[in-house]
Amino acid sequence: MKLNYKKTVLVGFVFFLICAFWQAYDTIVPKILTDKFGLAQGPSGIIMALDNVLALFLLPLFGAVSDRCTHRKGRRTPFIIVGTLIAVVAFLGLSAVDNWQLGAVKDVSPSNPEAQAVLYEANPSFSTPEGEKIVLQDRFSREEYTAIPMTVTNDQGKSETNPDYTDYVVPARQAYAWQMTLKNPVILICFISVLLILLFAMASFRSPAVALMPDVTVKPLRSKANAIINLMGAAGGIVVLGLGMVFSTGAAKNALMNYFGFFGAIAAIMLVSLFIFLWTVNEPKLVAEMHEESRRYGLDTGDDEEKGGDQKLSRAELRSLILILASVMLWFMGYNAVTSKYSVYAGKVLNLDYNFTLTLASASAIIAYVPIGFFAEKWGRRKTILLGIVLLGVAFTAASFMRAGHSRILMNCLFALAGIGWATINVNSYPMVVELSKNSNVGKYTGYYYTASMLAQTLTPILSGYLMDFRFTLLFPYAAVFVFGSFITMFLVRHGDSKPIPSKSVLERFDTDD
């Protein structure tokens, strides 16, 4: 019995396009909402949480609907085709609406030499990243304000974004953008409407796409197959971050850039990935081959529950399950707050291009998977997770003290550490949940895991957003508190840490949630 790696990679192109989209969405949409529409972090967080709210209801719905699909192309492929095509059109439409709003704020674009003069005449009120309330004309004369340069030369002779520009020009520009939004709110309404169509389209094929891997893979090989699928997803995210560096989406001078080229590149990646999938993957044929191989090895492919049905957990096991799910929610509260807000935070507080640091975190996580597997096998999942929590918490705590002008190398090292810490947690947390399940109710326990993680990802952009409106620099302290809180709940866990059967390949150690 051997995994067909080529087949699994080709099936994984769907997850590649999904992760490519979400990487672009999570980094660019917050910037559009704050930079071009001028939304505060709280309202922006509510809009950014819409995908998670929809996912709570739509992912299980479309997963169940696809189970009953009898289309000639298979149960999952029709959803993948229709969902991807609608998403691509909506994604390009979102860029068109963004460009519409760009016309309303073009006078204060960094590319306009008179931008700061326009801001001064508008005299907006705003808060600095440190929370100081400013009325522009009360603080500066016209000559002082228009003389603030975007960049300065540091002690090493290198050009970097001027902290005064970050503190007084960027938030003033966002306040001006909000004034323009209030004058014509129709554009924001259109943006949110197109965004909802886009999110609905993406949710319509997420569950069918994830379900396709086990549909075409025999049970003993699904861990290896899931490792390949997750690596394909990570690759999609890194490709988009690389494109972000090419387009310089994180540069201060491009805060009000036209994103149509970038969005077009992402849409092209999604379409090419879909084409490769459709050209090479025949779902009904692969499903039939899986059933034939299962019969050849005497494997059960049915959905019948084990005799005895769902057995109740003991009191100690139930307590551990609750603690594990509490841990999942806590570390997602911390980690997702950073990933959903960092693209904005990097420009306003650190004067860094967010693309490189996020790429470094993703690359570090991928590299760390193999040694994490060895640690988990030797120490157990719980102890390995506790180590990951410490690494992630230390990285976020140290990042709390980083400001513009501080060492970029140190910030990159902290994000690399955060990537390793997150991978250490993420690889082992889902297996702990399903370790407490029976073969007949793995899906139900998987639902518990996703309910905890999606609920956290729904709440944390809103909570962190309103906290950042009070003081922008509280993002990393907020994240660190939740991450270290998960250490307490995980430390109290006593079940779910059964030692897995040793695998012949390190790829099984990549098995994680999508």
HEC per residue, 60-111: HHHHHHHHCCCCCCCCCHHHHHHHHHHHHHHHHHHHHHHHHHHHHHHHHCCC
Do 495 and 325 meet the contact criterion of CB atoms below 8 Å apart? no
Helices and strands of the chain, counted as H and E runs: 20, 4
**To the nearest whole number, what is the mean pLDDT of the chain?**
84
Report the 3 state secondary structure along 27-53: HHHHHHHHHHCCCCHHHHHHHHCHHHH
- Considering only CA atoms, which of 209, 153, 250 is closest in space to residue 13? 209
Mean pLDDT of all residues in 193-197: 96
Give kind and range of the element (H or E) at residue 134: strand 133-135
Do 291 and 414 meet the contact criterion of CB atoms below 8 Å apart? no
The reported pLDDT for the residue numbered 15 is 87
The per-residue DSSP string of 160-187 comes to: EE-HHIIIIIHHHHHHHHHHHHHH-THH
Q: Give how far Cα 410 sits from Cα of 183, 398, 403, 414, 441, Å.
A: 43, 10, 11, 6, 45
- Considering only CA atoms, which of 160, 487, 468, 235 is closest in space to residue 340? 468
Regarding predicted confidence, which is higher, 162 or 306?
162
The reported pLDDT for the residue numbered 183 is 93
Q: Return the structure tokens found at 390.
A: 């410490």
pLDDT band at 311 (very low <50, low <70, confident <90, very high): low
User: 3-state class of 26 per DSSP?
Assistant: helix
Q: Provide the 10 A C-beta neighbour count for residue 287.
A: 17
How much is the pTM?
A: 0.74
Mean pLDDT of all residues in 416-444: 73
Give kind and range of the element (H or E) at residue 339: helix 315-345
Q: Provide the 10 A C-beta neighbour count for residue 141.
A: 10
Q: What is the share, in percent, of the chain residues with pLDDT greater than 70? A: 88
User: 3-state class of 285 per DSSP?
Assistant: helix
Residue with tokens 């990549």: 510
Regarding predicted confidence, which is higher, 343 or 75?
75
| Tens-digit pLDDT profile for residues 313-323 | 888 989 999 99
Q: Could you give the count of Cα atoms lying within 13 Å of 311 in the half-sphere of its Cβ?
A: 10
Backbone angles phi, psi at 153, to 5 degrees: -100, 125
| Tens-digit pLDDT profile for residues 221-237 | 665 666 677 778 888 98
Q: Is the pLDDT of residue 87 over 80?
A: yes
314-343: burial string, b at 16+ Cβ within 10 Å, e else? eeeeeebbbbbbbbbbbbbbbbbbbbbbbb
Pairing state of beta strands 133-135 and 151-153? unpaired
